[in-house]
Amino acid sequence: MSEFVIHDATVLTVDESNRLYENGTVVVSDGRIAEVRPSEPGDADLAADHVVDGAGTLVMPGLVNSHSHLELTGLLGAFSEMDTSELLVQMTAIAQRLGEGAYEYLSTASYELAALNFIRGGVTTVNSMDARPEHGVDVFGEAGLRGFFGPWISDLFWDVPVDEQFERARTFVDRHHDTYDGRIRATLCPHDDWSCSRSVWERTADLAADYPELPVHTHLLELDASDTMARANGGADSLALLDDVGLLDDRLVAAHFRVADDEDVRRVADAGAAVAHCPSIFCYWNPDGDAPWTPVPELRRAGATVGLGLDDHYWHDSYDLFGEARQARLAATLDSGDQQFSSMELVRMLTIEGARALGVGDELGSLEPGKRADLAVLDLSDPKFAPRTNVPAMVVNAASPADVETVVVDGEVLLRDGEVLTMDQDAVLDRVTAAVDRFADETGWELGPGGADPPGGLRTAADLPKRGPAHLLARLGVQSVKDAFPP
């Protein structure tokens, strides 16, 4: 007997041919997709744990959030009205305390809230880099989701000893990789190319050699300071530094790639590395309006894999990964002119390309026999979807989390008729409310329906890291002088 059958649905396979069945059936057995085909008489009578009449629905692969940070989800709305400078100061202070092991109660409740909303929004796989991702492993594992997690490593961003960070990373891999029937996997996460010394990159390469199956997840070419720091680290530029240490390859998942030039695009594509594009975060928080925009059209033309991600979704107050596809289209149009992507290309970036970025495109990301059964079912009965003349365009231009009615991961139904089956929604909301109240009491943040007011400068300054950022600024300053006055 099969676990799940949905019949007489519109089925968007996202296979190599982008096949779309106007009246199709998907059969799931033993956690995998057994059949994807046109519907036949009698499909409603197939033996299965769950048989769903798909009339008026769309079946598509589950969404892949290819880059995110989750452990402060409970602070959604707290940062919305800050400017970039205040945001970075407040976040750096909180990050330092997270690295020291503080706020575990908030982190755990935040992972729960994120998992709940991802299930409700059709997101079945998440790739997250956090200070203490161990707090999220059991949450995502027990919720039935698929998660890639790793603790970030940086010696120039915070003051946590580097040896401790690498030991934490190794312990995380040994304890949590390939758990929950393989749904939870580990990643190696040097934080970025502007707050890591060459030593951190070299030690990351050594760690990667010990765990050759793991992705290496980082922020790359996010800021103008990226290449400057790479030169301070003895590299010609950021990509050259990663190439020097052996990390510019098909295991690399590079978030943002915002200030990349044509040569950077070519080198990333040639290396087989992937880019995680998170348009909303820079449409909302943009420290430099003159900075170039992530060259996604150029990356795709060069053959690079590009997935979509929500990044710090609690900065821009949205769990809506469908919305990232629309935002990617609009931002590219403003930057480069219209029709940079077809709607189907954007659907692929939401699904199969995100899976390929994480090295699991042969397992996930499309509805094909033999692949893991991760799928989302959308209700198309709302008039906004009429007359269904272009289903891929409906997905990326009109769909939202509210349209998701069923979610399946590994053949297990996590959401049915809009109800999450693997989590107690009321209990999650109670716990995150209590956690945010406790955080406010402990830190001096004022948080409420009218907005947020962070603690004053002296209190925030006391929590800011000192040693790491001082070294960062000194290195950037010295290198900037060298760049201005070459020998």
Average pLDDT rounded to a whole number, residues 1-25: 94
Domains of the chain by start residue, with CATH: 2-61+371-419 (2.30.40.10)
How many angstroms separate the Cα of 431 from the Cα of each of 134, 324, 414? Answer: 18, 28, 21
Going by C-alpha positions, the residue among 123, 138, 247, 216 that lies closest to residue 184 is 138
Q: What pLDDT score was predicted for residue 487?
A: 77
Residues whose CB falls within 8 Å of the CB of residue 388, separated by 6 or more in sequence, listed in order: 10, 380, 394
CB-count exposure of residue 221 (10 Å: 0-12, 13-18, 19+): buried
Q: What pLDDT score was predicted for residue 373?
A: 97
Q: What pLDDT score was predicted for residue 481?
A: 85
CA-CA distance, 424 to 60, in Å (whole number)?
A: 26
Residues whose CB falls within 8 Å of the CB of residue 129, separated by 6 or more in sequence, listed in order: 67, 68, 69, 149, 150, 151, 152, 187, 189, 191, 217
C-beta neighbour count of 439 within 10 angstroms: 22
pLDDT band at 350 (very low <50, low <70, confident <90, very high): very high
pLDDT in tens, 133-177: 999 999 999 999 999 999 999 999 889 999 999 999 999 999 999
C-beta neighbour count of 101 within 10 angstroms: 11
Asked if residue 202 has pLDDT above 80, the reply is yes
CB 28 within 8 A of CB 5: yes
CA-CA distance, 170 to 132, in Å (whole number)?
A: 13
3-state secondary structure of 288: coil
Site of tokens 């053959």: 303
Q: Model's pTM, two decimal places?
A: 0.96
CA-CA distance, 69 to 376, in Å (whole number)?
A: 23
Q: What pLDDT score was predicted for residue 1?
A: 59
Q: How many residues does the chain have?
A: 487
CA-CA distance, 125 to 21, in Å (whole number)?
A: 24
pLDDT in tens, 208-240: 999 999 999 999 999 889 999 999 999 999 999
